[in-house]
Amino acid sequence: MELKTNHYICHPVCCLAKAPVWLHFIIGILFLFSCGNEENKTETVTAKKIRPEQMDESAGNLIRSMMQKAMQDSGRINVRIQLSQPVQVDSFYRKKGFTTHWSERDSLLAIADTIVNFIYSARYHGLFPENYHLFHLFSVREKLRGDSSGKEARLDAALWAENDLLLTDAFIQLIQDIKLGRLPQDSVSSRKDSVLLNDFFLDQFIKFRYGASFSSIVASLEPVHKGYHELKSGIASFLQKADLEKTYTFVPFPATDSFAFKSSLFKRLQEEGLIPDSLTYTDTSKALIVAAIKEYQKKSGFTVDGVVGTQTAKRLNTSDKDRFFQLAITLDRYKLLPEQMPEKYVWVNIPAYNLKLVEHDSVILESKIVVGKPKTRTPVLNSAISEMITFPQWTIPASIIEKEILPAVKRNPEYLIKKGYSLIDKEGMEVDPFTVEWVKYKKTIPYKVVQGSGDDNALGILKFNFSNKYAVYLHDTNQRYFFSRVERALSHGCVRVQDWKTLAFYILKNDSLNAGSRNYTPSDSVKRWLSVKEKHIVPVRNRIPLFIRYFTCEGKNGTIIFYDDIYNEDAELRKYYSAIK
C-alpha cells in the first residue's frame, strides 16, 4: 500500500480543486508559460514529433545531452530547471543507462505517479514539496494529459527527457532527505552513514522499480526512534488546522513607537479572536486589551500578567508556517542521533525545560529543569554521568569570573563576602578580597573563586558530573522557586534538576544491580551523607549516557507540542530549507 492521508491527498492533477491557492496560481502560470512560448522547450533540441516506438531511444539521447549541460552549468538542464543532485543523477544514468526510467514509449509508468503523489503530500514527512520539482512535474503532466489525441506533447522526446530527469532528481533528493535530513553534521552528530554513496540511490530505485512500495522504502530509511514517530504522528492533526499561507500582523518588540506597538498588538489579538472585529483600537478600553493578553498568555502556558514581554511577543509573531519549520527541523534533528539509542539514558531537551530518564524506550522519570540564558547557553552534547558529589563546593568558571565577578569586586570587594564566595590562591590559601589590587586585572585573575558547600550553595545538595569541554553539569539548586516559572532559561549554562534525588538514587540502584564483583556505593551511605550534610564523591561504575539536545517540538497522543526557540537556533537553520523563505 502506498501513502494514504486525508490532507491534500488525491491524484495531483485531477484533484487540484482541493489544493491551496498558491498551487493553483503557480501551476497556472507554468502551464500558460510553457504552452505559449516555444522558447521554453529545452535548448538542447528543437521539439519534433517522434514515433512512440522510437521514444525511449530518442529521449535517452536527449537525457545524455541534457546531463552534459547540467554537469557544466551547476546542474541546469535549461533556463528554467536546475537539478539539486546533478552528480548523483549523472551517476545514476551512467550506471543504469541513458534511457527513460519513469516512462515507456509514450506512457508514464505507475512509479512516476507514485512519486508525484508522495511529493504532493510530502509535508506529512516534514518535507517541502517545492524542494522536489513539484511545479515543473505538474506542468509536464498537464501537457501530457492534455494531449488526448496522442499527437502533440506525447510525441515530444524533449518533454519525456525532461520529465525523466526531474523524477530522478526528485527521487534522489527524497531518499537523501528522508534518510539523513537537511541539517549539516555537527560535533555531536552520531550518525556513521553521514554520506550516501551513489550506489545507494540506485539500489533504492531498483527496489522501487521492481516491486517494493515507496512507503516501505520510506519506512526503511526513517529513524526508528520512538520520539520521531510520535512527532510524525501529530503532523496530520497539525496540517488539518494550520494555514501555512496566512500571515499575521507583526507586533514590534521591544517597542520603540508606543502607538505602533499598541495598534499592532490590538490587530494581532483580533486575529486570535480575543477582541471582536467590530471594535477599533481607539474605542477599546485598556482593561479589555489586558484581559485579551491574559487570555492569550493562559492558552499559551505563559505567566498570566497581562503584560507583553519577550516570550509573549515572540509567540504572537510565530505563524503556522514558522511552526512547520520547527517541525521539519526537529524531525531532521532525530536523523542526527545514533541509529540505535542506548538501553538506558538521560535525555535533556533544552527548549522544553525537561529531563527524561529513559529505559527500554519507556520514560521512567520526568523532571523540570532550568537551563542557560540565551547569553549563557546550555550546550548540546553527548556524554555519560560518571560521578555524583554530595554537598559540593562550586568553583566558579572563568567565564563567570570575567563577566560578572570581576566587574562586581572592582566596584566593591565585599561582593564576594555577601555571596559566600572564598578567594583561593595557588597554594590553596584563602585571600582577603580587600587586599587585592583588582583594578589591574582585565579578564583573568590568579585566584580560584569558590562557594562552600551547604544549603546556600548554587549547586544545591548534589551535583552530577560528566565529561565535557564546557564546564557544565547537572545539579540541584538553592533557587528552587525557579521551577515554578514557565520560562526557565535562567542559569549560566548548567542544568538545574528539580527531581535530582530520584535521578541520583536510580543511578545508585543501577550500579548495585550491575555491580558484579566491583565496589559500588550503597544508597544508605548516600542517604546518611545527605542527612549529615557531608561532602563525598560517588563514582558511577555503570555510567548512564547523557544526551543534551535542542528540540523545539515533540509529539504526544497524536498532537504536537511546540516550544519557543529560546536560543534562535531553529531560525538560524531555516537557510538549509531554501525552497521556502
Q: Is residue 241 part of a domain?
A: no
Instruction: Tell me the pLDDT tens digit for each residue of 252-305.
Output: 998 889 999 999 999 999 999 999 999 998 888 999 999 999 999 998 878 899
Mean pLDDT of the chain: 88
Q: Is residue 227 part of a domain?
A: no
User: Which amino acids are annotated catalytic?
Assistant: 475, 494
Q: Is residue 11 part of a domain?
A: no
Q: Is residue 6 part of a domain?
A: no
Contact 442, 472 (CB under 8 A): no
Which of 177, 205, 222 delimits the end of a domain? 222
Which of 283, 318, 353 delimits the end of a domain? 318
Q: What is the pLDDT of residue 189?
A: 75
CB contact set of 129 (below 8 Å; sequence gap of 6+): 119, 120, 122, 123
Q: What is the pLDDT of residue 454?
A: 79
One domain, residues 302 and 433: no
Q: What is the pLDDT of residue 193?
A: 64
Taking the model in full, what pTM does it have? 0.84
Query: Greatest CA separation found in the chain?
Result: 98
pLDDT exceeding 90 applies to what percent of the chain? Answer: 71
One domain, residues 355 and 279: no
Instruction: Tell me the pLDDT tens digit for each residue of 385-440.
Output: 999 999 999 898 888 999 899 999 999 999 999 888 999 999 889 999 999 999 99
One domain, residues 385 and 305: no
The total of other beta-carbon atoms located within 10 Å of residue 216's CB is 14
The total of other beta-carbon atoms located within 10 Å of residue 353's CB is 25
One domain, residues 85 and 136: yes
One domain, residues 460 and 542: yes
CB contact set of 471 (below 8 Å; sequence gap of 6+): 397
Q: Is residue 129 part of a domain?
A: yes
C-alpha cell at 174: 527524497
Q: What is the pLDDT of residue 47?
A: 52
One domain, residues 445 and 461: no
One domain, residues 574 and 463: yes
- Positive or negative, the CA dihedral 295, 296, 300, 301 is negative
One domain, residues 125 and 207: yes
Query: Hey, what amino acid is at 146?
Result: G
Give the least confident one: 16-20, 283-287, 313-317: 16-20
Q: Is residue 377 part of a domain?
A: yes
One domain, residues 443 and 487: no
Q: What is the pLDDT of residue 234?
A: 97
Residue 15 has pLDDT above 70, yes or no: no
One domain, residues 31 and 82: yes
- Contacts of 422-431 with C-beta under 8 Å, sequence gap 24+, read 422/449, 422/450, 422/451, 422/452, 423/447, 423/448, 423/449, 424/448, 424/449, 424/450
> How far, in Å, CA of 72 to CA of 54, rounded?
28
Place 326 in a pLDDT band, splitting at 50, 70 and 90.
very high
Q: Is residue 239 part of a domain?
A: no
Q: Is residue 324 part of a domain?
A: no
Instruction: Tell me the pLDDT tens digit for each residue of 138-168.
Output: 999 888 877 666 567 888 999 999 999 999 9
Into how many domains does the chain fold? 4
Q: Are strands 394-395 and 448-451 parallel, antiparallel or unpaired?
A: antiparallel
Mean pLDDT value across residues 193-212: 90
One domain, residues 447 and 532: no
The upper half-sphere exposure of residue 26, i.e. CA atoms within 13 Å in the direction of its Cβ, equals 12
Residue 294 belongs to what domain range? 248-318
Query: Of 136, 109, 125, 101, whose CA–CA distance to 182 is shortest?
Result: 125
Q: What is the pLDDT of residue 122?
A: 97
The CATH number that applies at residue 569 is 2.40.440.10
Mean pLDDT value across residues 472-481: 95
One domain, residues 123 and 269: no
Which of 222, 239, 264 delimits the end of a domain? 222
